[in-house]
Amino acid sequence: MKLKAVSSTGKAITELTLEQQKRFIEKLAEQQDGNINYGMELSLMILGYEVVEGEE
């Protein structure tokens, strides 16, 4: 899974470093609670990212 910037400009609203992106992906993958997982994905949307499944 990876993060993809989504906006009309093609850039995220808030730029995350590659290290921050990796950490967020790791924490998201570890998460077992569906509600927390959903909240993490919503947080990413606010930052201007979406989770792309199945890609590295």
The tens-digit pLDDT sequence of the chain (56 residues) is 889 988 888 888 889 999 999 999 999 889 899 999 999 999 999 999 998 887 55
Given this model, what pLDDT does residue 11 score?
A: 86
What value does the CA radius of gyration of the chain take, rounded to a whole number of Å?
Answer: 11
Burial of 2 (0-12, 13-18, 19+ CB in 10 A): middle
For residue 15, CA distances in Å to 6, 18, 47 come to: 11, 9, 8
pLDDT at 56: 55
Total-model pTM: 0.75
